[in-house]
Chains A and B, each alone.
Chain A
Amino acid sequence: MEILRVENIKKSFSGVSVLKNINLSIKSGELHAIVGENGAGKSTLMKIIAGELEPDSGKIYLNGKEVQFHSPLDAINSGIALIHQEFSLVPQLTVYENIFLGREISKSFLGIDFIDRKAMKKEAQNVLKTFGIENIPVNSKIKDLSVANKQLTEIAKALSTNSKILIMDEPTAALTLRETEKLFSILTNLKSNGVTIIFISHRLEEIFQIADSVTILRNGELIATKQINEVSMEEIVSMMIGKSMSNRFPPKPSKKIGDKFFEVRNISSDAFKGINFSLRRGEILGIAGLVGCGNTQVGESIYGLRKFDGEIYFEGKKINISKPTDAIENGIFLVPEDRHDLGLVLQLSVKENHSLPNLDLFSKLGFVSTSTEKKSVKDTIAYLNTKVSSINQIVENLSGGNQQKVVLGKWLVRSPKVLILDEPTRGIDVGAKFEIYKFIYEQSSKGVGIILISSELAEVLNLSDRILVMSEGRITGELDPQNATQEDILRLAVKGKES
């Protein structure tokens, strides 16, 4: 039984066609996955279905009747909720205020409606509890939450509207295996209650784990819709990128691992305690752990974004890092986890964002040389295959994965010595991931020490030369990826948690 159908949907932005005649049918109660490269048009199509964008032409049918949404509220009232790829939470408000934003619970007193915070908190707690994520404090402000908890709040917010159709745009990109499993059991539950789910992800294993059917988009065109049991991963990948791709990871380079040149001695902060590790030239050190284990904070501290106690030794000398410039001067760079918060200036162009930390390389006597700058941006875009309409495109208008490529690309220009990569492939498509893995290998072959913080266990296991696992702010073990499994990582990641 069909619940939703879109017919001949077309959409273009300032003359560039992003969706070309899309026809899609979603069955009631199914979990329908949408996949495609970065910039293929997935988010745009979802925004159209959820009333956030109006198509240039085409029709939407809900339960066989044509509907026209002029605002997200129209869609919500028809039972369609969208969980955004980029968060739509108000950072200054608390978790419970965000969950009930626009639907605040009130109580009447002397004929006046007063906001009922107590009821809202309680209700929010219930919502979180239903979904097994009650460890998120309802009173915290969104801006103080980790990316994963922001994502979970966003999900809880959408779930609490009791929608019939739930659209999730890359909900798992910021989650580790454990939260993902939790989310999947919630989704299975919702499905058994008759909710229809549209699910976008670049993690294809997930699609095979939970989807009933899958639609592949490429360059704004719908390539195919298939039942999940009638396609293979290889077929999906080749439909997505238009050519076949035999391996998800590039071959390991034969490289020499050099001397210990970077060492972290007993660093502590409010998010982690007594962290010790060293890094060799050319080594890829994976730091794995569950959401909130403190690995992101360790990375940010080494880069000078957070205060910490303890010592850092670099090339035999003790160095003082209290702000990012201290790290940058030593050739230590960070690709941050949260691209909107730390990685990008959204209203500036691709070019300007790319140049931000590199202007010293592009300028003479303080004047920016536009030709050197342009060349550098264009080279980087070509190298990472970033999809932009021009180098002057505003970063906010890029697709999520392409924004991530801009963040990564910034540091390609400089010669790093230590590269801290915090979720470097978050929201990036399979083809581009391959490119980024190649880049990581290239850098490490050049002798760059790489700290890879990632929630994708396959990524950590495949790329790292050595893996540290963190739990509750402490290092709980070290693994050799040659003979470790995902289960080994998970066991160390929950150590000290369930006691």
Chain B
Amino acid sequence: MTLSNGFIRRYGVIFGLAGIIIFFAIESPNYFFTPSNFILISKQSSINILLALGEMFVILTAGIDLSVGAIAGLVGAVAAGTIVATGNLFLGLIAGIGIGIAFGLINGVIVAFAKVPAFIATLATMSAITGITLIYTQGEPIWNLPSSFDFIGQGNLADIPFSIILMALAFVAAWIVLEKTKYGRHIYAVGGNIKASRAAGIKISAVLVSVYAISGLLSAIGGIVLASRLGTAEPTAGSGYELDAIAAVVLGGTSLFGGEGWVVGTIIGGYIIAVLNNGMTIMNISAYYQEVVKGLVILLAVMLTSFGKKYWNE
């Protein structure tokens, strides 16, 4: 069976998260290890996990999407701008989500048809989209959003923060698509061996274009939650999110070479990052050091996974 290889890839990350939680629980039992703090962590991780789930689709096909943060930023601005201009919440949400999918499709078309390597293609669109956001907003934040908009990032549904519900829905949807559908199988196959997939009659370009569109959609939802949480659309709000998203996916055991990965792992990867941020803040570690520690933890986790994999394969 895949026991050895899959086991380490799948469950190693769970032990990692458990280890980090235990560490902080010992260091800070009163603040860290409380139900309300876990809800807070979930809330904090929701945006990153939304983006990471989309990123995972792309990475499974052996691609990468560097534009997720930029799309989230633009979508927040467009949604907020539309709402302020028209006073219509739904129009704003539709505009935002439409823009997200549209830029995802553009990424997909560039990668699938113009055959530009995904790294370069999305690096270029990331830069362009960031510029478009600055032009659209004139570099100014968009204020005066209606309180109905606040609900998405700040409200509760039956005592559960709405952003956590969104994240959970996205997770379930991604899990079903990747594990249960024909389309999901095609994604893994294309990432594993593009030539053999083509020979098996899979429509490669359709798969490639669609994963970037999915990434655009989830970035858009993340961008709207972000703007709503902040209560304003900052032109640079999304910057840097792409790195956390990629880190969550890789921490979760998805192979950057494509074809291998587990949705649950991505969620756990997202939580590892959120728990680290939260725990270190509670322990009063300066933000500068936090970045260093985060970098080291990611490196360590990925090294352990690949080492473990090799060891178990022997």
Contacts and interface: CB of A to CB of B under 8 A. Distances in A.
A334 B199 contact: yes
B182 A347 contact: no
A54 B314 contact: yes
Nearest to B257: A347
Contacts of B189: 345, 348, 352, 356
The 4 A-B pairs of least Cβ separation, nearest first, read: A345-B192, A357-B200, A359-B182, A328-B201
A393 B199 contact: no
Contact of A346 (B3, B193, B200): B193
Contacts of B182: 359-360, 362-363, 366-368
Contact of A367 (B4, B180, B195): B180
A478 to B, nearest CB: 29
Interface in B86-124: none
A356 B197 contact: yes
Contact of B2 (A54, A356, A394): A394
Contacts of A53: 314
B188 A348 contact: yes
Nearest to A370: B180
Nearest to A348: B192
Contacts of A393: 1-2
**By CB atoms of chain B within 10 A, which of A344, A345, A366, A392 has the most?**
A345
B260 interface: yes
B1 A392 contact: yes
30 contacts: A14-B1, A324-B199, A325-B201, A325-B203, A328-B201, A336-B199, A341-B196, A342-B199, A343-B196, A345-B192, A345-B193, A345-B196, A346-B192, A346-B193, A347-B259, A348-B188, A349-B2, A356-B189, A356-B197, A356-B202, A357-B200, A360-B182, A366-B183, A367-B181, A367-B182, A368-B182, A368-B185, A392-B2, A393-B1, A410-B200
Interface of B: 1-5, 180-183, 185-186, 188-189, 192-193, 195-203, 259-260, 314
A355 B180 CA distance: 13
Contacts of A348: 188-189, 192, 259
A492 to B, nearest CB: 30
A246 interface: no
Contacts of B260: 347
Contacts of B259: 345, 347-348
Contacts, number: 83
B1 A323 contact: no
B183 A347 contact: no
A441 interface: no
Nearest to B203: A325
A410 B199 CA distance: 12
Q: Main SS of chain A's interface residues?
A: mixed
A343 B199 CA distance: 7
A108 interface: no
Contacts of B185: 352, 355-356, 359, 368
Contacts of B192: 345-348
B181 to A, nearest CB: 5
A27 to B, nearest CB: 31
Q: Main SS of chain B's interface residues?
A: helix
A368 B180 contact: yes
A308 interface: no
**By CB atoms of chain B within 10 A, which of A334, A348, A393 has the most?**
A348
Given A341-B196, A368-B181, 17 more contacts: A14-B3, A324-B199, A324-B200, A334-B199, A336-B199, A342-B199, A345-B188, A345-B189, A345-B192, A345-B197, A348-B192, A352-B185, A356-B189, A356-B200, A367-B181, A367-B182, A394-B5
**By CB atoms of chain A within 10 A, which of B5, B186, B199, B260 has the most?**
B199
Nearest to B191: A345
A342 B3 CA distance: 26
A211 interface: no
A389 B3 CA distance: 12
Contacts of B314: 53-54
Interface in A336-390: 336, 341-349, 352, 355-357, 359-360, 362-363, 366-368, 389-390
B1 A389 contact: yes
Interface in A314-330: 323-325, 328
A380 to B, nearest CB: 15
A344 B201 contact: no
A199 interface: no
Contacts of B199: 303, 305, 324, 334, 336, 342-343
Contacts of B3: 14
**By CB atoms of chain A within 10 A, which of B192, B201, B202 has the most?**
B201
A390 B2 CA distance: 10
B28 to A, nearest CB: 41
B201 A366 contact: no
A14 B6 CA distance: 13
Contacts of B5: 394
B175 to A, nearest CB: 13
A342 B189 CA distance: 12
A357 B183 CA distance: 12
A227 to B, nearest CB: 37
B4 to A, nearest CB: 6
A125 to B, nearest CB: 30
A374 B192 CA distance: 21
B196 A342 contact: yes
A363 B189 CA distance: 17
Nearest to A328: B201
Given A348-B189, A359-B185, A394-B5, A341 B195 contact: yes
A481 B182 CA distance: 44
Contacts of A352: 185, 188-189
A282 to B, nearest CB: 25
A357 B193 CA distance: 13
B2 A324 contact: no
A345 B189 CA distance: 6
Contacts of A394: 2, 5
Nearest to B185: A359
Contacts of A345: 188-189, 192-193, 196-197, 259
A53 B314 CA distance: 7
Contact of A324 (B1, B181, B186, B198): B198
A352 to B, nearest CB: 6
Contacts of B200: 324, 356-357, 410
Nearest to A341: B195
A136 to B, nearest CB: 23
Contacts of B193: 344-346
Contacts of B198: 305, 323-324
A348 B186 CA distance: 11
Interface string A1-28: 0000000000000100000000000000
Interface string A132-176: 000000000000000000000000000000000000000000000
Nearest to A349: B2
Contacts of A328: 201
Nearest to B2: A394
A240 to B, nearest CB: 28
Contacts of A363: 181-182
Contacts of A346: 192-193
B128 to A, nearest CB: 31
